Amino acid sequence: MQINKVEISGIDTNKLRVLSDDEKKALLLKAKQGDKKASDELVKGNLRLVLSVIQRFANRGESMDDLFQVGCVGLIKAIRNFNTDLDIKFSTYAVPMIEGELKRYLRDFNSIRVSRSVRDTAYKAIQARDRLQNKSEKEPTAEEIAAEIGVSKSAVVIALEAVSDPISLYDPVYSDNGDTLYVMDQLGDKGGEDDWIEEISLRDQIAALSDREKKILNLRFLRGMTQTEVAKEIDISQAQVSRLEKAVLKKVKGE
């Protein structure tokens, strides 16, 4: 099914209701008291949230109908586990829960073969991580997870890595005012000065740049710093480094 199709899993997405924050709070309190009707209303009122999350998992060869249903399972778990005493929005809590359910589903159908023992360790580690996070309200360390399930830290790390999704160099990691930073932007360039000069062929053009522009190029491409490191070095934001770097490269290559 296409992502822009109006109907998904037999539901007309144009007719999905969106709850206000006050409505969510009232229904969550009722749901915590065992009101099934309130729980059903919460599910129906947050289906647009599920739809927005599953779009991040499009183009993976999976049926969008199946992903939508799996996302709904994550939504239901979020409703059951949400702590109404915390001063956070429900969507802030629900999105990671929905994503986690989708990732677990995709791991089960991963084409890369992972041994049963490693997969079992990974599932135990994931469950332990969820328990510890709900208890302490912070992300547990690998050591804490290992202690919880009685295995070594290395076994936990290996198991979780084995079932995790691969990351694309073009995956976005941060966005600020339209300037998107990708995974590849966080990687240092290990090439030397000769390689850089040869690639862009422009000693004269570089000499014509401002001092800050030359410093950014020097730190990024001669010293191999990431954009995060450059931002700290010259005391500007990472988004500004990205914007300046792109502008300088465009100017230099244009010349």
Can you tell me whether residue 172 is helix, strand or coil? strand
Q: Are both 82 and 191 inside the same structural domain?
A: no
Q: Are residues 90 and 49 in the same domain?
A: yes
| Number of structural domains found in the chain | 2
Q: Which of 16-30, 158-172, 217-231 has the lowest mean pLDDT?
A: 158-172
Instruction: Determine, yes or no, domain membership for 158.
Output: yes
Q: Cβ distance 173 to 186 under 8 Å?
A: yes
| Residues 176, 115 share a domain | no
154 plus 212 within the same structural domain: no
Is residue 13's pLDDT more than 70? no
Q: Are 53 and 98 in contact (CB under 8 A)?
A: yes
**Residue 146 pLDDT > 50:** yes
Six-digit token pair at 147? 């202690």
Tell me, what amino acid is at 143?
Answer: E
Q: What average pLDDT does this structure show over 135-158?
A: 87
- Looking at the structure, tell me whether residues 227 and 119 fall in a common domain: no
Instruction: Write the pLDDT tens digit of every residue in 222-244.
Output: 777 788 888 888 888 888 888 88
Task: Give whole-number Cα distances, 247 to 68, 78, 254, in Å.
Answer: 40, 43, 10
SS3 200: helix
pLDDT of the residue at 177: 55
CB 74 within 8 A of CB 101: yes
Q: What percent of the chain has pLDDT over 90?
A: 3
Average pLDDT over residues 97-101: 87
At residue 186, the pLDDT reads 54
What are the CA-CA distances from residue 175 to residues 38, 104, 110, 165 (Å)?
36, 26, 29, 22
* C-alpha radius of gyration, the chain, whole number: 24
Using the predicted structure, report yes or no on whether residue 251 has a pLDDT greater than 80: no
**pLDDT at position 200:** 47
Look at residue 2 and tell me if it is in a domain: no
- Crossing angle for the helix pair 153-163 and 142-149, to the nearest 10 degrees: 100
Answer yes or no: do 52 and 114 share one domain. Answer: yes
pLDDT score, position 52: 86
Q: 147 with 95, same domain?
A: yes
* Alpha helix stretches (DSSP H) within 82-115: 90-108
Residue where a domain terminates, one of 130, 163, 196: 163
pTM for the whole thing?
0.42
Domain that holds residue 221: 172-254
Boundary-marking domain end, from 163, 188, 214 = 163
Is residue 28 scored above 60 in pLDDT? yes
Instruction: Spell out the long-range contacts of 230-237 with Cβ–Cβ below 8 A and sequence spacing 24 or more.
Output: 237/176
In a domain? residue 1: no
Considering the domain architecture, whether residues 100 and 214 belong to the same structural domain is answered as no
Q: What letter represents residue 150's amino acid?
A: G
Claim to verify: residue 39 and residue 153 sit in the same structural domain: yes
Q: Encoding tokens for residue 40?
A: 């059903």
Q: Give the CATH number of the domain where residue 105 resides.
A: 1.20.120
